[in-house]
Amino acid sequence: KTLCVLISGNGSNLQAIIDRIEAGKLNATIGCVISNQPQAYGLQRAQQAGIDNYCLSHRDYESREAYDEALAALLARYQPDCVVLAGFMRILTESFVNRFSGQLVNIHPSLLPKYKGLNTHQRAIDNGDDVHGVSVHYVTPELDGGPVIVQSRVPVFSEDTADELASRVQEQERQLYPLVLDWICNDRLYMKDNKAVLDNEEL
């Protein structure tokens, strides 16, 4: 299967996917990596791995619609089976999301439906939660609201800073995302009627 990965920053999830493929444990090809931020370190990771990579800056486009059109056109060249949002910090238009419906996944650093949006780690600390975590979900037009595929939990310790908690969560992310992509690449996972289905069981 062909994956295209969208990023905005460091790209540690991208790296975990690259490493899993290179280790022969994920039967996929990364067609391309696209960042909306020119300085995203993940672009260098893609370059180092010999993967086609592009900066498509949203600043060069007049509207969200125009940007998403350009993004869809670039992706279409690679005919991805799955578009993987890995720290892509932009809200996608409904028409983009619908175009890739069932082929678009995201990783979000909270136990959805808790803490949609930004600053999830600080919000978990501020609320006194003792458990936090990460979710991988299908993307639908509702922001961070698509069907959850799988979650991983981490403890929150009383002295935690948001950064410490984030790095504990990110350790889990690097395990979880390649696992989900493995299910997708082996045709074990799909979305039907706005539900995630794994091995013929609704999740």
Site residues (CB under 6 A) for ligand GRF?
A: 7, 9-14, 42, 86-87, 107-109, 134, 170, 173
Q: Is 132 marked active-site?
A: no
Whether residue 11 is annotated as binding a ligand: the answer is yes
Q: Which is nearer to ligand GRF, 117 or 192 (CB)?
A: 117
Residue 93 per-residue DSSP state: P
The active-site residue out of 108, 121, 132, 137 is 108
Give the chain's radius of gyration (CA, Å). Answer: 16
Whether residue 89 is annotated as binding a ligand: the answer is yes
Q: Least distance in Å: CB of 163 to ligand GRF? A: 12
Whether residue 10 is annotated as binding a ligand: the answer is no
Q: Least distance in Å: CB of 89 to ligand GRF? A: 7
Instruction: Locate all alpha helices (DSSP H) within the chain, ordered by sequence.
Output: 12-22, 41-48, 64-76, 94-99, 120-126, 162-185
Q: Which is nearer to ligand GRF, 36 or 170 (CB)?
A: 170
Residue 60 per-residue DSSP state: G
Q: What share of the chain is helix, strand, coil (3-state, %, to 5)?
A: 35, 25, 40
Whether residue 194 is annotated as binding a ligand: the answer is no
In the β-sheet with 131-138, what is the strand arrangement from edge to edge?
A: 52-55, 29-35, 2-7, 82-85, 104-108, 131-138, 148-155
Q: Which is nearer to ligand GRF, 103 or 135 (CB)?
A: 135
Known binding site: residues? 11-13, 64, 89-92, 106
Active site members:
108
